[in-house]
Amino acid sequence: MTFLDPRLTERRNPRTAEIDLASPIEIVDLINAEDRAVPEAVASQREPIAQAIEQAEKTFRAGGRLFYVGAGTSGRLGVLDASECPPTYGTDPEMVQGIIAGGPPALTRSQEGAEDRLDGAVEDLSAHGVRAGDFVIGIAASGTTPYVRRALSHAKSVGASTALVACSPPPQEALDVADLVILPITGPEVVTGSTRMKAGTATKLVLNTITTGAMIRLGKTFGNLMVDLRATNAKLKDRSERILMEICGVDRDGARALLDASGAIVKTAVVMHFLGCSREDAERRLDEGGGVIRRVVRRPPPPVPPA
């Protein structure tokens, strides 16, 4: 039966074969039933995801960068995860970057044929200056996207570390260019081939875990409190002040004064408060402690308040 696609993400799902006859509530139930399997698929990849966190931390501590590379939905998810790191963790936008086939226009409008342009993958990585010491993660729901495979091949050739995130077993030529493979197998989609659904959800969970894990390892949290954010708008300023009130036991005015003195960086403000030091000294001590607050102030975060 030659019309059968070997890629699991392109197969028909027998559980949703009659979905076009379903009522709205039945559609919700069918999709929800399929979605329930996604976290388990991601959990099955706990070890390679942990290895990706380790590689990302190692890369960042050595001054390297993390790049996500993908086409279509996969590319958009990479750009999304990368774009959320600066406001959440105060990172330089260069630290985590997303590269999508077809460039920025592909974020909002499909760029037909972009995923098949092998030369485009090399051009895009070269334009971003991908080099030895960087970490390049290719994202391809089907595991077969030519753009992603060529990108990983080029990254490997310049000495970068490589990984592949896919939701269907990739061909050998893709495995050959990936140092690490993360495979949350989500099976056929509710609508055949619509990988923005289960495969997309699994991919987002994986990428969130990699960057969140790496940022935690870099000391971007104190316990589970976000302490390396920059108070760049009213919402983030309020969050920063509330975090300082909780950690330091000060009132709103005290938190505001600490934030102003620290250059609007919560982590620096915490060290200044507990060590009674200047902003410059706090920054130096944090640098010496690898950015980890516990190592500098030698105390745990406050206990979680009762609900």
Q: Which positions are annotated as active-site residues? A: 84, 115
- Residue 228, CA distances (Å) to 91, 196, 258 in order: 8, 31, 14
- For the chain, give the number of residues: 307
Q: What is the per-residue DSSP string for 3-23?
A: TS-SSGGGS--GGGTTGGG--
Shortest CA distance to 108 belongs to which of 141, 143, 80?
Answer: 80
Amino acid at 11: R
Q: Which secondary structure element, helix H or strand E, spans residue 182, and what is its range?
A: strand 180-182
* 73 phi and psi angles, rounded to 5 deg: -55, -45
240 burial via Cβ count (<10 Å: 0-12, 13-18, 19+): buried
